[in-house]
């Protein structure tokens, strides 16, 4: 068993609408897909983003694309409406998600 | 290539996009010889509110400020090759944009063009005050709105193209409608051919952000590389009458179209993949498959469609106070501690100046910034690296008035002489903010329409 950053196994992109962030996670190698489904869960993503106080985290699976789509509510400090963040859209947040640690057998 | 294929190229994916990106796209479309359309998407959520403000200052303004810079490089070639142009660059003044485009055509010696405008998205014009107020969320009741626009669908664009428009200028439409409109006009798809409408919509979705599907916004050096990123080519979709389509890009350009680039963009700004809502159709991409169909060619299969929502989505924009920002750099030994102290100095000064409530945020760029939240919880929990030797402090504050915003900026400027040692490179900005919210308009309340410009 070893631990790697999700960044080694998957890529992704962030989108935003208002105070809602949506982040895709796409496996580079289809053989890693079951591992990602098992470990990149709503609970772990909620924990990773806990400091931004998400009101909800929803994961959608796209097995044919070996991809998942996370919809994370109320984590952008108001988004482009009100956030003081340089990155008010939260565009960099896909790379926060890709920093999640994954255990590889 | 058979004439059953319609090719749609994208020349811009946002208002700030490259002015010359459309040139290789049009060259590729023209050399292909079959029916083709060029689209420009330049209207983000707040862009329209900014345009509305410009129009208040000048009745002829209010369309995309770079309109001429986007269209001039390709207009003559498009007209000669019979490639219609469809763009939402009309923003808050489609008729004004149409006049400007005719002037451009005159200057280029192209003569009188058939330019159509699509109107009916502006809720301030389309609805009574009472109707509009009834749609707004409670916190906006009675508040003056800078702009209020519904996302129109593809039908009016299609109508204008069927009537022979060489350019179609819209204000707010759903971005994918810029591509779906030409498909409706070309293939004659019915209003309830949901699978076809969904396929066309997702093709438009993949085109609407320009290079984001062709290797732009994708490169991660050594992990996922993109060839010739500096010359990234913009996308072209080849659509068939039965809704099958291929995503590719302009010939002789950099970038790439792969399963990976297309997957990232397919899911971009999507929430539930089984229900991507547009005014024309509810698209379902949960069973989509992507198939390599040659170099830089990806075929998209399995898009399904369901009936469109019964309301138009609309975005309303209103004044959102002021944003004050100031930055200063510290480098070398103890740089992080000096930057932190500078932030504390500004905080204390602003407390003593007794401005109105000023939510304030301090970033240590190079140590911790964009991941962090406004409340500072990330800064506390992540225990950032305090050994960084090149740190830029950024202070940001939200204020109700311009005067308070300027006071925040001045405190950052004053760090030159009153702050910690060795601070340099102060920059400050004070900007008015626009805020936005969504509401949903019953279909029967709007009368979207197209007409030829005068």
Residue B237 · residue B203 · CB < 8 Å: yes
Residues B225, B227, B230, B236: is their CA dihedral positive or negative?
A: negative
Optimal mutation site among B267, B315, B376, interface A, most CBs of chain A within 10 A? B267
Select from B46, B220, B269 the Cβ nearest to the Cβ of A11.
B220
- Residue whose pair of structure tokens reads 């969904």 in the numeric block: B198
Q: Which is nearest to A94 in space by CA: A70, A74, A77? A: A70
> Minimal Cα distance from A29: which residue of B?
B260
- Rounded to two decimals, the pTM is 0.96
Instruction: Check residue B142 and give its pLDDT.
Output: 84
Helix runs in B58-113, H state only: 67-81, 94-107
Contact A65 B377 (CB under 8 A): no
Rg (CA), chain A: 14
Burial group, residue B170, by CB count within 10 angstroms (0-12, 13-18, 19+): buried
Q: How many residue pairs bridge chain A and chain B with CB atoms within 8 Å of each other? A: 113
Rounded percentage of chain B residues whose pLDDT exceeds 90:
92
Task: Give the pLDDT mean for B102-126.
Answer: 97
For residues B197 and B284, what is the distance between their CA atoms, to the nearest angstrom? 11
CA distance A73 to chain B (A): 11
The distance from CA A55 to its chain's CA centroid, rounded to whole angstroms, is 15
Nearest to B224 among A11, A52, A86 (CB): A11
pLDDT band with cut points at 50, 70 and 90 for residue B366: very high
ipTM over 0.95: yes
CB contact under 8 Å between B268 and A24, yes or no, is yes
DSSP string, chain A: -EEEEGGGTEE--EEEETTEEEEEEEESSGGGHHHHHHHS-HHHHHHHTGGG--SEEEEEEEGGGTEEEEEEET-STTGGGT--SSSTT-TTHHHHHTT-EEEE-
Binary contact (B264, A12; C-beta < 8 A):
yes
Yes or no, beta carbons of B269 and A15 under 8 Å apart = yes
Surface of B (83-142) touching A: CB under 8 A: none
Whether chain A has a CB inside 8 Å of the CB on B270: the answer is yes
Measured between CB atoms, does B292 come within 8 Å of chain A?
Answer: no
Q: Which of B193, B313, B211, B247 is nearest to B7 (CA)?
A: B247
Q: Would you call B320 an interface residue with chain A, using a CB distance cutoff of 8 Å?
A: yes
* Cβ count near B359 (within 10 Å): 13
> Is A1:A103 a contact under the CB 8 Å cutoff?
yes
Distance between CA atoms of A92 and B378, rounded to whole angstroms?
15
Cβ atoms of B176 and B270 within 8 Å: the answer is: no
- B1 falls in which pLDDT band (50, 70, 90)? very low
> In this structure, which long-range contacts are made by residues B385-389, counting pairs with CB atoms below 8 Å and at least 24 apart in sequence?
B385/B336, B386/B336, B386/B337, B387/B336, B388/B335, B388/B336, B388/B364, B389/B331, B389/B332, B389/B333, B389/B335, B389/B336
**Residue B153: helix, strand or coil by DSSP?**
coil
Task: Tell me which residue of A4, A34, A16, A1 sits closest to A71, measured CA to CA.
Answer: A16
- Share above pLDDT 70 across residues of chain B, in percent, rounded to a whole number: 99
Is B44 an 8 Å CB contact of chain A?
no
The answer to whether the CB atoms of B289 and A64 lie below 8 A apart is: yes
CA distance, residue B229 to nearest chain A CA (Å):
18
B438 touches chain A (CB under 8 A): yes
What is the distance in angstroms between the Cα of A71 and the nearest Cα belonging to chain B? 6
Given this model, what pLDDT does residue B3 score? 56
Phi/psi for B249 (5° steps) reads: -150, 175
Residue of B374, B377, B408 to mutate when probing chain A, most A C-beta within 10 A: B374
Q: Which residue of A has its CA nearest to B437?
A: A18
Q: Which residue has the tokens 């053989």?
A: A31
Query: Is 90 exceeded by the pLDDT of residue B318?
Result: yes
Strand partners for A61 = A68
pLDDT > 80? residue B323: yes
Token pair of B355 as six digits: 């401005």
Q: Tell me which residue of A48, A31, A27 sits closest to A96, measured CA to CA.
A: A48
What is the pLDDT of chain B when averaged over all its residues?
Answer: 96
Q: Is the pLDDT of residue A23 over 80?
A: yes
Structure tokens at A103: 């255990």
Q: pLDDT at position B386, please?
A: 79
Range in A63-77, B44-58, B105-119 the model is least confident about: B44-58
Question: Which pLDDT band holds residue B2 (cuts at 50, 70, 90)?
Answer: very low
Q: How far is B205 from chain A (nearest CA, A)?
A: 13
Residue B129 makes CB contacts below 8 A (sequence gap 6+) with none
pLDDT at residue B122 tops 50: yes
Tokens for B413, please give them. Answer: 């400027």
User: For the residues A37-60, what does the mean pLDDT come to?
Assistant: 98
Chain B residues lying within 8 Å of A81, measured CB to CB: 320, 433, 435-437
- The closest CB to that of B373, out of A13, A20, A77, belongs to A77
Q: Which two tokens stand for residue B58?
A: 């000048």
Chain B positions in Cβ-Cβ contact with residue A20 (cut-off 8 Å): 271
Q: Do A64 and B369 touch (CB under 8 A)?
A: no
Which residues 65-84 of A are in CB contact (within 8 Å) with B?
Answer: 65, 67, 69, 71, 77, 80-84
Cross-chain residue pair A77–B266, CB shorter than 8 Å:
no
pLDDT value of residue B444: 96
Taking only the tens place, the pLDDT of each residue in B211-223 is 999 999 999 999 9
Closest-CA residue to B395 (of B447, B442, B329, B446): B329
SS3 assignment, position B193: coil
Contact A60 B272 (CB under 8 A): yes
Alpha-carbon distance of A88 to A16, in angstroms, equals: 10
Q: Is A35 on the interface with B (CB under 8 A)?
A: no
Nearest to B354 by CA among B396, B399, B322, B394: B399
**Cβ separation A71–B271 shorter than 8 A:** yes
Q: What are phi and psi of B370, to 5 degrees?
A: -65, -30
B286 in contact with A at a CB cutoff of 8 Å?
yes
Residues in chain A: 105
| Dist. CA B170–CA B178, nearest whole Å | 9
């Amino acid at each position: 068993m070893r631990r790697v950053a999700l960044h080694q196994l998957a890529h992704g992109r962030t989108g935003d609408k208002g105070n809602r962030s949506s982040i895709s996670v796409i496996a580079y190698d289809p053989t890693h897909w079951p591992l990602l489904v098992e470990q990149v869960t709503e609970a772990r993503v909620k924990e990773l983003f806990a400091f931004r106080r998400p009101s909800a985290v929803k994961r959608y699976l796209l097995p044919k694309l070996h991809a998942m789509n996370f919809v994370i509510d109320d984590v952008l400090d108001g988004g482009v409406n009100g956030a003081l963040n340089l990155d008010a859209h939260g565009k960099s947040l896909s790379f926060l998600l890709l920093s999640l640690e994954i255990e590889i057998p | 290539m058979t004439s059953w294929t319609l090719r749609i190229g994208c020349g811009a994916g946002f208002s700030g996009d490259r002015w010359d990106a459309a040139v290789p796209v049009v060259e590729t479309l023209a050399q292909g010889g079959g029916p083709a359309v060029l689209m420009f998407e330049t209207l983000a959520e707040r862009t329209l509110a900014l345009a509305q403000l410009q129009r208040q200052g000048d009745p002829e303004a209010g369309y995309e400020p770079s309109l001429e810079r986007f269209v001039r490089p390709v207009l003559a070639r498009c007209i000669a090759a019979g490639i219609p142009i469809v763009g939402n660059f009309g923003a808050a003044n489609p008729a004004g944009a149409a006049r400007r485009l005719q002037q451009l055509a005159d200057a280029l010696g192209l003569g009188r063009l058939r330019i159509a405008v699509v109107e009916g998205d502006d809720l301030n014009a389309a609805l009574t005050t009472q109707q509009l107020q009834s749609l707004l969320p409670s916190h906006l009741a009675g508040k003056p709105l800078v702009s209020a626009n519904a996302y129109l669908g593809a039908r009016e664009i299609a109508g204008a193209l069927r009537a022979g428009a060489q350019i179609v200028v819209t204000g707010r439409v759903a971005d994918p409608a810029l591509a779906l409109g030409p498909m409706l006009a070309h293939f004659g798809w019915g209003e309830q051919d949901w699978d076809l409408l969904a396929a066309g919509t997702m093709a438009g979705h993949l085109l609407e952000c320009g290079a984001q599907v062709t290797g732009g916004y994708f490169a991660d050096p050594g992990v996922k590389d993109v060839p010739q990123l500096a010359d990234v080519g913009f996308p072209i979709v080849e659509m068939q009458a039965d809704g099958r389509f291929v995503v590719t890009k302009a010939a002789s350009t950099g970038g790439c179209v792969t399963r990976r680039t297309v997957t990232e963009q397919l899911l971009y700004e999507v929430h539930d993949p089984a229900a991507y809502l547009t005014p024309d159709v509810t698209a379902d991409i949960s069973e989509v498959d992507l198939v390599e169909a040659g170099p830089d060619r990806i075929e998209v299969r399995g898009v399904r469609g369901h009936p469109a929502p019964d309301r138009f989505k609309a975005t309303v924009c209103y004044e959102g106070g002021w944003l004050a920002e100031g930055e200063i750099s510290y480098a070398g030994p103890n740089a992080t501690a000096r930057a932190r102290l500078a932030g504390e100095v500004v905080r204390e000064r602003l407390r003593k100046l007794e401005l109105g409530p000023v939510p304030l945020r301090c970033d240590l760029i190079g140590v911790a910034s964009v991941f962090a939240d406004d409340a500072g919880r990330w800064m506390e929990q992540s225990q950032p690296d305090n050994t960084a030797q090149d740190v830029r402090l950024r202070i940001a504050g939200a204020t109700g008035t311009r005067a308070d915003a300027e006071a925040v900026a001045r405190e950052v400027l004053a760090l030159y002489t009153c702050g910690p040692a060795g601070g340099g490179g102060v920059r400050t900005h004070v900007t008015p903010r626009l805020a936005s919210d969504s509401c949903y308009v019953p279909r029967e309340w709007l009368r979207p329409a197209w007409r030829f410009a005068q």
